[in-house]
Amino acid sequence: MLSLLFAASLFVTQAPDTAHVVLVATTDVHGRATAWDYLADRAAPGGLTRVATVVDSLRRRFPGQVVVLDAGDMLQGNAFAAYQARQGRRQPNPIVEAMNLVGYDAATPGNHDFDWGLPELERALADAAFPYVSANLFRVPSDSLLVSAFRVLRRGPIRVGVTGFTTPGVTVWDGDRLRGRIRVGRIEAAAGRTFAAMRGSSDLVVALAHSGVAGPSSYDTTGVGAEDVAGTFATMKARPDVVIVGHSHDEIRDSTLGEVRYVQPKPYAASVAVVHVDMVRPPGREWQVGRIRGELVSTAEVTPSAVVEQRLRPAHDAVREWVGEAVGMAIAPMPAATGRAMITPVVDWMLDVQRRRAGATLAAGPVFDLRAGVPGDTIHRRDLLRLYPYENTLRAVKISGAQLKDYLERSARYFRVDAAGRISINDSMPGYDFDLVHGARYDIDLRQPIGSRIRNLAVGDRPVAPSDSFTMALDSHRQSGAGGYSMVAHAPVVYDRGEWIRELLEEDLARHRLDPLHVVTSNWRIVPAMAESAVFKIYGIESEPLPVSRGDSLLLRVFGTAGLHGRLESVGALAHAMDSLAARCECPTLRLDGGGAVTGRGAGGGAATGRGGTGTVTAGGSGMGVGAAGRTAAGGGARPGRGAAGGGATLGGAAAGGGGSRIISLRQIRVLGRLALS
Ligand SMILES: [Zn+2]
Ligand SMILES: [Zn+2]
């Protein structure tokens, strides 16, 4: 009897006809080891500590059947990751330690895993208690694989083959860190070979694709493989059964292409892909894939694993302390919120630091995060991490006037105008690809078609000719041509010392207090005024409600400028300072210029009559007075960052209109002096 039972169980284990494998996957975790937002200093959804809880519960429910995978972009992307790479240097890297504690079975590197350089990635690979796989990363010059092309993991009777691919875009974005060390092959070629090889040794073939499903590449693909090609796996002769997609930060719950199943969990470990695979073996045949069911499990409500949290505690505490350190001072709040609509001091500060450091005439760059900015007192490192969240280094290129125009035209595609003239944001272009160029003067004319929107382009008050030559500071990412800026990809690089831009900003803050009045502002705007207003509206830049005076007493705050020396570059900062002072006073304000003759030529303009609109400004040489009529109280309030000195005659206007800030178009100011506040 006993031997019969033994024989039966032996029979069952040797030849089961069904089996079950549970694939659990994350991708684009970007440093979220802990469930903490270090910039806001509070608990956050997502994080590997929560993933650990999900994995633990699946392992309890499906013992011996779970395979935990990651599709790349793990080691970079938040303060926790930046601290480990640049400051803490703990061994093992706490992010990899978290992966070890979760119990990952395999992972593939993403493009951002190379951001800290190859030695840092190799340290992480060495710390990992699980194998990394990649079929298209090769060492140079030996042309040997950086890590195994694939691994076969046993789950019960099933041989689960896992391979990985990294988008060739990494050679564009991190070219300097890879050159002479790593070659990234085209994914399609590597995939065809690898899947065919895996079929011989695997019952279930899984691909970790750090490459989106399909779509145009965000870089010039000449000599480089395409960026997002995971969809092509479905049409290959040897195909995978399941693809875990990464890189594109999209979400794919459970989708079939050809006969291949695709899933993509949310970035930042906000969700985990769970794929149940039923395997069947018909009598006398090999194992086959039966039913597949994919789902995404949100980690938002999941309690973080206490064990993993405790192990990460020292690193977590160190990062909190690091981001909370004071790195500088600002005399007034400088928010980035308006940076994609108008001249914004904090953006100009960042660009000007880069321009000066590189010794360039121009500096180009985007506003990464509209929630960023510095407070009007102590600046902490977390403010900088929000202002400049990426691990880019500073470079400068030599470009022609024609390339500069092309560059700005590319950027100006950020705005979409429909047939009815309605303006919206081009949602196929991320906000961080809308670059501003500091040091040049230009209008973005939204009446013009794409490719012809840049008007009145000048550098140093001289119109730009196509054959002109300029040096322009930019970050390493943009210099590679990323984001559709291929016109700079082959421009000669005249500055590249591998300096991290965020650290340069921090150094600048250590030298002096940040003062919006002393920021060299840029000089661009959206035209016509209606288009500008529409863009302002998109960004919630509304006219502030004006204070109402009580009775016949009126408190006025008067801002005066004097000593005009024709300095144009501080206008935006000046206006910004006046605006914030006006807002704090909550009283009507006047902006007066007392430098030289206050002729008040604009005196009779709209202000006096209480009509809205922009008055005329007389411009002359140094010391010429500025008489301006802007919007009256009836016509609206101050737009942040706009407006400047008003002429003496506007006093009448203020009284007539019941008080309010005088606003004139920034471009109409041609003279400016030192600011005196009274
Ligand atoms: Zn990513
Ligand atoms: Zn990526």
**Which residues are paired to 399 by β-bridges?**
470
C-beta separation of 666 from 572 below 8 A: yes
- Residue 614 placed within a domain: yes
SS3 for 571?
helix
Host H or E run for residue 279: strand 271-280
The number of the ligand nearest the C-alpha atom of 167 reads: 2
Does 288 lie in the same domain as 398?
A: no
Residue 201's pLDDT is what? 96
- Residue 490 placed within a domain: yes
Q: How far is the CA of 248 from the centre of ligand 2 (A)?
A: 7
Residue 641's pLDDT is what? 34
Residue 584's pLDDT is what? 54
- Residue 122 placed within a domain: yes
Residue 123's pLDDT is what? 94
Task: Please give the Cα distance from 178 to 167 (Å, whole number).
Answer: 13
The number of the ligand nearest the C-alpha atom of 266 reads: 1
Q: How far is the CA of 384 from the centre of ligand 1 (A)?
A: 21
Q: How far is the CA of 110 from the centre of ligand 2 (A)?
A: 5
Does 349 lie in the same domain as 497?
A: yes
Cα dihedral 536, 539, 540, 543, rounded to 10, equals -20
Is the predicted pLDDT of residue 453 greater than 70, yes or no? Answer: yes
**Which residues are paired to 366 by β-bridges?**
435
DSSP E strands: which ranges in 510-623?
Answer: 523-527, 557-564, 589-593
Is the predicted pLDDT of residue 654 greater than 90, yes or no? Answer: no
Summarised one tens digit per residue, pLDDT across range 373-383 is 999 999 999 99
Q: How far is the CA of 209 from the centre of ligand 2 (A)?
A: 10
Task: Please give the Cα distance from 406 to 400 (Å, whole number).
Answer: 10
- Residue 471 placed within a domain: yes
> Residue 440: which of 553, 371, 343 has the closest Cα?
343
Contacts of 506 (CB under 8 A, 6+ apart): 327, 328, 381, 384
Q: How far is the CA of 247 from the centre of ligand 2 (A)?
A: 4
Does 344 lie in the same domain as 213?
A: no
Examine the fold and report which residue of 304, 321, 338 is the final residue of a domain before the chain moves on: 321
- Residue 523 placed within a domain: yes
Cis upstream peptide for 141 (omega within 30°): yes
Examine the fold and report which residue of 480, 511, 538 is the final residue of a domain before the chain moves on: 538
Q: How far is the CA of 349 from the centre of ligand 2 (A)?
A: 29
SS3 for 517?
helix
**Could you tell me the residue range of the domain that residue 360 belongs to?**
325-538
Summarised one tens digit per residue, pLDDT across range 623-653 is 222 333 333 232 233 333 333 333 322 222 3
Q: How far is the CA of 30 from the centre of ligand 1 (A)?
A: 7
Residue 515's pLDDT is what? 94
- Residue 4 placed within a domain: no
Q: How far is the CA of 156 from the centre of ligand 2 (A)?
A: 33
Summarised one tens digit per residue, pLDDT across range 265-277 is 999 999 999 999 9
Does 152 lie in the same domain as 275?
A: yes
Residue positions counted in the chain: 678
Does 529 lie in the same domain as 387?
A: yes
Summarised one tens digit per residue, pLDDT across range 555-611 is 455 555 544 444 445 555 566 556 655 665 555 566 665 443 333 333 333 232 233
Task: Please give the Cα distance from 32 to 79 (Å, whole number).
Answer: 9
Q: Is the dihedral of CA 173, 179, 182, 187 positive or negative?
A: positive
Q: How far apart are the first and last CA of the chain?
A: 104
Q: What is the mean pLDDT of residues 497-519?
A: 95
Query: How would DSSP label each residue in 594-637?
Result: -SSB---TTTTSHHHHT--S-------STTB--------TTT--
Q: How many domains does the chain have?
A: 3
Bridge-based pairing state of the strands 378-380 and 362-366: unpaired
CATH of the domain at 520: 3.90.780.10
Q: How far is the CA of 176 from the centre of ligand 2 (A)?
A: 17
Does 359 lie in the same domain as 473?
A: yes
Is the predicted pLDDT of residue 674 greater than 70, yes or no? Answer: no
Q: What is the mean pLDDT of residues 420-437?
A: 96
Q: How far is the CA of 354 from the centre of ligand 1 (A)?
A: 26
C-beta separation of 471 from 398 below 8 A: yes
Does 369 lie in the same domain as 287?
A: no
CATH of the domain at 196: 3.60.21.10
Does 353 lie in the same domain as 258?
A: no
Q: How far is the CA of 115 from the centre of ligand 2 (A)?
A: 11
The half-sphere exposure of 6 on its side-chain side, counting CA atoms within 13 A, is 3
Residue 220's pLDDT is what? 83
Examine the fold and report which residue of 270, 300, 321 is the final residue of a domain before the chain moves on: 321
Host H or E run for residue 443: strand 440-445
pLDDT band, very low/low/confident/very high, at 86 (cuts 50, 70, 90): confident
In percent, how much of the chain has pLDDT > 70?
78
- In the block, tokens 């009775």 appear at 551
Q: How far is the CA of 406 from the centre of ligand 2 (A)?
A: 27
Host H or E run for residue 190: helix 187-199
Type of residue at 556: L
Distances 618 to 534, 668, 676 between C-alpha atoms, Å? 28, 8, 21
Residue 577's pLDDT is what? 59
C-beta separation of 346 from 335 below 8 A: yes
The number of the ligand nearest the C-alpha atom of 249 reads: 1
- Residue 651 placed within a domain: yes
Host H or E run for residue 533: helix 529-538
Mean pLDDT (the chain, rounded): 83
Tokens coding 458: 């000048």
Task: Please give the Cα distance from 489 to 663 (Å, whole number).
Answer: 41
Host H or E run for residue 402: helix 401-412
Tokens coding 140: 């140079």
Q: How far is the CA of 421 from the centre of ligand 1 (A)?
A: 35
Q: How far is the CA of 466 from the centre of ligand 2 (A)?
A: 36
Residue 278's pLDDT is what? 98
- Residue 179 placed within a domain: yes
Task: Please give the Cα distance from 647 to 427 (Å, whole number).
Answer: 42
Does 336 lie in the same domain as 304?
A: no
Contacts of 248 (CB under 8 A, 6+ apart): 212, 213, 215, 228, 264
Does 614 lie in the same domain as 640?
A: yes
Does 183 lie in the same domain as 218?
A: yes
Tokens coding 369: 């995060």
Task: Please give the Cα distance from 188 to 259 (Å, whole number).
Answer: 17
Residue 587's pLDDT is what? 56
Does 338 lie in the same domain as 258?
A: no
C-beta separation of 564 from 623 below 8 A: yes
Cis upstream peptide for 333 (omega within 30°): no
C-beta separation of 161 from 198 below 8 A: yes
Q: How far is the CA of 117 from the centre of ligand 1 (A)?
A: 17
Q: Which residues surround ligand 2, an ion (CB under 5 A)?
A: 73, 110-111, 247
- CA 573, chain centre distance (Å): 25
- In the block, tokens 């209008």 appear at 443
